[in-house]
Every structure is written in C-alpha cells, then in structure tokens.
Chain A
Amino acid sequence: MFTQLKKEWFGNVRGDILSGIVVALALIPEAIAFSIIAGVDPMVGLYASFSMAVVIAFMGGRPAMISAATGAMALVMVTLVKDHGLQYLFAATLLTGVLQLIFGWLKVARLMKFVPRSVMVGFVNALAILIFTAQLPHFAGSSVVMYVFVAATLAIIYILPRFVKAVPSPLVAIVVMTIIAVAGGFDLRTVGDLGNITQSLPSFLIPDVPLNMETLSIIFPTALALSMVGLLESLLTASIVDDMTDTTSDKNREARGQGIANIVTGFFGGMAGCAMIGQSVINVKSGGRGRLSTFVAGAFLLFLIMVLGDVVVKIPMAALVGVMIMVSIGTFDWSSLKAFTKIPITDSVVMLVTVITVVITHDLSKGVFAGILLSAIFFTAKISKVDVSSARKDDTLYYKTAGQIFFASVTDFVNEFDYQPEGIKNVHIDFSEAHIWDDSGVAAVDKIVLKYRNNGIKVILTGLNEASSSMVKRMAVHDKQDAKLSGH
C-alpha cells in the first residue's frame, strides 16, 4: 500500500515535474477560453483548473491524467450562467460533485461498456463542433486585423513544434500575439473587455443562493448533465491514458475523485471540470507518469495566475480564438470521416444522430442519450431475426427454430408457422437453437400451441434450454388445464 503510493507519487520525479510545468503553461489559454465560452470571468476557469488538478492528484484513480476546466463542461453550463448567474453555477458545481461521488460509489464505471464507440466518437466530434461554433460570434463585426491575428496564432501553433518542442506552442502564440497587439496599438478586443482578473488566491466561499427546492430545481438538471458529461469524458480519457502508458487504472476511484474535486472546486469559486484528453496526452508525451505531474500542473498554474494576472487581461481575444480553433481541430476525430465507408451504416447513423442532437440542443448529455437509445434499437432490431424451417414426415410436421425469441421478434416468429397444414396430426417444434427471453416469448409459444390445438393438432416442444424451459414452466398457460389465450 505504502510502496504503491510512493511509486504513484515519486516514481518519476524529474519527468513529472517537467511535464507538470508544460501542462500548466498549456492550461492557461484553454482555461481562460473555456471561461469565456461559459460566460464567466477568466478567474473562474483558472481557479477551477488549479483546484481540479490538485485535488485529482490525490483523489483520482488514474495517475498522470489531467483534470481542469473543460470545453465539454463549459458548454453544458452556458444557459445556467446566462439565466441565473455565477452563484448558481457554484451551487451546480457542488451538486455535480455530490452526484459524481454517488455515481462513483454505485460503481458507474462498469456502465461505460454500454456506451457504444460510435456514441463516443459522436461525443468528441460534437464537442469539437461546438467549441468551434462558440468562436464564431467573436468574428461578428470584427475588422480584418482580427482574421489576420487568428491566422497568425494558428500558424505559430502548428509550425513552431517543428523547431521547438519544449514549450507548448499555443502559449508561445498567445505571448507573441499579445506583445504584437500591445506594441502595435491594434484596436482589438481583449480578455479584459470580457472579464476581470484578480491576482488573489482562491478563497473558501459558500454559494450565495437560497437553500430551497426552487434553487434545487434550477441547478439539478444542469448538475445532472454536468456530472454525466464529466464522467464520460473522464473515463474515456482514463482509457486513453491507460493505453498510452500501458498500465491500468481504478475507474470507480476516478469517478469518486472527480466528485470530490468538483465539490472542492465549487467551494473555491470555480466552474465544474473534468479530465481533458488533449492535456493528458500532452502530459504523457512530455514524460508525465505519476500523480506528481498532475499536482505540479495545478500548483504551477496557481503560481502563474498570481504572477501573470496583469498580463492576462491584455491578451487579444483573436489569439484565444486561434487556440480554441486548434483545440477543436485536435478534438475532432478525423479518422471517423474515413471510417464512413468501412463501418456498418448503423454505426455511422448513431454517430451522426449523436452529433446532430448535440448541435441542436447544445447539450452533450442529450446527444449521448439519443445515441445510446438509437444503438440499442438497432441492436434489438438486429438480433430480432428468427429463423424457422420445417420438414414433413408422414403425418408429422417438424419445425426447427433458431434465434432470440423476445418482445421484438415474436410477431415474425408466430407468423412463420403454418397453422392449417393438410393431413398433419402432430407438430414437433425444436427449440435447441433458440432462446426464450421474456413473457412475450412465452406468450408466443402459448399462442402457437393453442392455435394448433384448436385445429386438432398435437404439439410437442423439444430442445428448450434450461432458462427457456423454466420460464415456459413458470408462465405458460398451454400446459395448464382448459388453457385459453386470455391468460396473457
């Protein structure tokens, strides 16, 4: 236990400290930009990124994963912030944490296997599209200078890594563009025009909202959506970090950790956050493997906020828009476009429905629900095909059935039989390759038997597997005296 803890914290000190610093630098532009998407002051996202990272370093289940303020969460909270204000966001963040803690205790991680991959692909693609479209209002009524700045930011972000790898290129782009904007005296909107930066440590606060049912009814829907979106992205990120580092992680502990981190974040005036795929990949690539890397990322971020507060307000929005366009390009799963021709059409439909639902409702959780629902329906339709073949011998008709007999397949199943065969006295139905799943299935068997019986034909059922036959014995009426179909 102790040696495990020591390894998770101090197994890779040098690599963890360096990568943590890189991540802290890379987090600044994103935390500010996500705050602006959510419609809150940059400090709210920066404090959140600090407290999420530090708390997760201790409580998370996946060492080296980075949690902070994220685009997915920011997008979910937009309406709440606009309609009810910041205090309700803090309250919703607390409630998000409590819900995630409960989900974690209920071992929610095992439910991840019910989320099909096409839904996950739809989730990241929708996220990328929303982050991109959230940038478009910044262009409205802007001058050519704005476009030039955004293009220059993107050029630095994508070209610089060919020559310099140690410093995150988005940060360099932000610094360079800010210097050019200030020195050149360009008339550009800055972060300061959209919010305030205070060079103070986050302090403990209790959200200033009335403690009543009305408040709960305002924050609960948002908190529920936040908690699910947060867990979904966190557990996906954990799987990616698992794969990158070739190690395993405790997903339920991670879910509980996300809950605790959000509760703490809510009390310190931050917005709800979750794990970030992009930053976690940067961390592992930069050499981060242990909990120390996540801790250093959070702690160094706070240090930077204290030092850089004055500078942050001068950052031109154009530079942040550029960074967000980069984030959206990096988030989008481009291989899913190529996959269209290779994967089953139903998978593509599920992915598209997930994306379209999110883009229309602006709520990632609704898209995930729509996607899961649709893929469940597709799956049900796929396995509801039953196969019935028949052979005749003297006055006996032999039926062989194969497939899943349940509510979705019974109508076709019952119609496969010929109930008035010429010169037949006995019918044998072989179920050895079939499975009866529910009372609809049993009712179907009843119906078939009784229909034959009405026509004066004796029916023998064979080959029922154990589960099916116990279900038939328990619920069927055809073997009870004076059986009539009204039993169901």
Chain B
Amino acid sequence: MNGPILLASDGSSHALRAAEEAIKLAKVLNKEIVVVFVVDFDQSKRDVLHSAGAIDLEQKRRKQLQGTEQKIREAGVSYSVQLLHGMPGPAIVEYANKEAVSYVVLGSRGLNSLQEMVLGSVSHKVAKRVNCPVLIVK
C-alpha cells in the first residue's frame, strides 16, 4: 500500500473539505493524489442525453471537479483524475484495493442525501471494506 492518496470527489462542498485534508496528507507523506469521480449508473442516461457526444460528456464531468482540482493545483501537489462508472461505494473500494492506494480520503456525505437515506452512506461502506486507512472528513 505504497500507492497514491485516493481522494473521492463528487464536487460537493463536503468533497472540497476532504480535498483540503488530502492535500495536508499528501504534503506530509510526499505522495501524489488521485482524484476519483464515480459516475453512478443512473446518472449515465441523464448525462448522455444532455451532452453532444463523448468529448462534451467528459468535459462536463471534469467541470464538476474544477474546484477540487484548483485547490490541489494551488497547493502544488501533483495529481491525476480517474473517472469510474458504477455504484459509488463499491467502485471506490474496488479501485482503492486494486491500485493499493495508501489512504482513502472522502467527505462524510455527498450531493445525494436522499439516496444516502435509502442505501446508506458511501463513506460508511468504503470505510468498512477498504484495505488501507480511511479518512472521513466532516
């Protein structure tokens, strides 16, 4: 588990605060950040419908990460962005374990509070099933 620090982001204000903590960690540990953005299955239909082709689609999603990316860039930490598809919880867990990341940093809650009520929170699921230390930011 010597990989980068995984920062899960959905562009929400919680994710932005998580980014600040991820930056602190990255600086102390001298590691890179990989920003993971999960496109939920149900979101695919809406996104495809509202975008003109694959390039437009990618750009619109990257736009949601603008704030997060700007924060990391300004802090002078090197980073990469990874778009995943699927259910946010399992997708983050699978990626984190496969890439052997050193930390997972994520907000305590995301954009979709209704879904959270029904399905339980993403942060809880990730914390239970990821193999590395997890930092949940309030």
Binding site for B on A (CB under 8 A): 113, 116-117, 120-121, 124, 162, 236, 239-240, 243-246, 277, 281, 284-285, 333, 335-336, 339
Contact = CB atoms under 8 A, between A and B. Distances in A.
Interface stretch (B3-11, B47-55, B63-71): B47-55
A281 B46 CA distance: 12
Of the candidates A117, A244, A281, A339, the one having the most CB atoms from chain B within 10 angstroms of its own CB is A244
Given A162-B118, A285-B41, A243 B50 contact: no
Contact of B85 (A246, A336, A339): A246
A333 B44 contact: no
A240 B50 contact: no
B41 A284 contact: yes
B126 to A, nearest CB: 19
B42 interface: yes
A403 B133 CA distance: 58
B119 to A, nearest CB: 8
Contacts of B45: 240, 277, 281, 333
Contacts of B41: 244, 281, 284-285
A243 B118 contact: no
Contacts of B83: 246
17 contacts: A113-B52, A113-B53, A116-B52, A117-B49, A117-B50, A117-B52, A121-B50, A124-B49, A236-B49, A240-B48, A240-B49, A243-B85, A244-B44, A246-B83, A281-B41, A281-B42, A333-B49
User: Would you call the interface of chain A mostly helix, strand, loop, or mixed?
Assistant: helix
Contacts of A246: 83, 85
B57 interface: yes
User: Would you call the interface of chain B mostly helix, strand, loop, or mixed?
Assistant: helix
A243 B85 CA distance: 8
A284 B42 CA distance: 11
Q: Can you list the 7 inter-chain pairs with the closest CB atoms, starting with the nearest? A: A243-B44, A244-B44, A240-B48, A246-B85, A239-B48, A335-B46, A240-B45
Contacts of A117: 49-52
Contacts of B57: 243
Interface bin, chain B: 10 to 19
A236 B50 contact: no
B90 to A, nearest CB: 11
Nearest to A125: B49
B127 interface: no
Nearest to B51: A117
Nearest to A243: B44
B136 interface: no
A237 to B, nearest CB: 9
A162 B115 CA distance: 10
Contacts of A245: 85
Interface in B14-63: 39, 41-42, 44-53, 57
Nearest to B119: A162
A236 B44 CA distance: 11
Nearest to A118: B50
B44 A339 contact: no
Nearest to B85: A246
Of the candidates B45, B48, B53, B57, the one having the most CB atoms from chain A within 10 angstroms of its own CB is B45
Contacts of A277: 45
A96 to B, nearest CB: 24
A12 B49 CA distance: 28
Given A239-B48, A243-B48, 12 more contacts: A113-B52, A113-B53, A117-B49, A117-B50, A121-B49, A236-B48, A236-B49, A240-B45, A240-B48, A244-B41, A244-B44, A246-B83
A422 to B, nearest CB: 50
A100 to B, nearest CB: 22
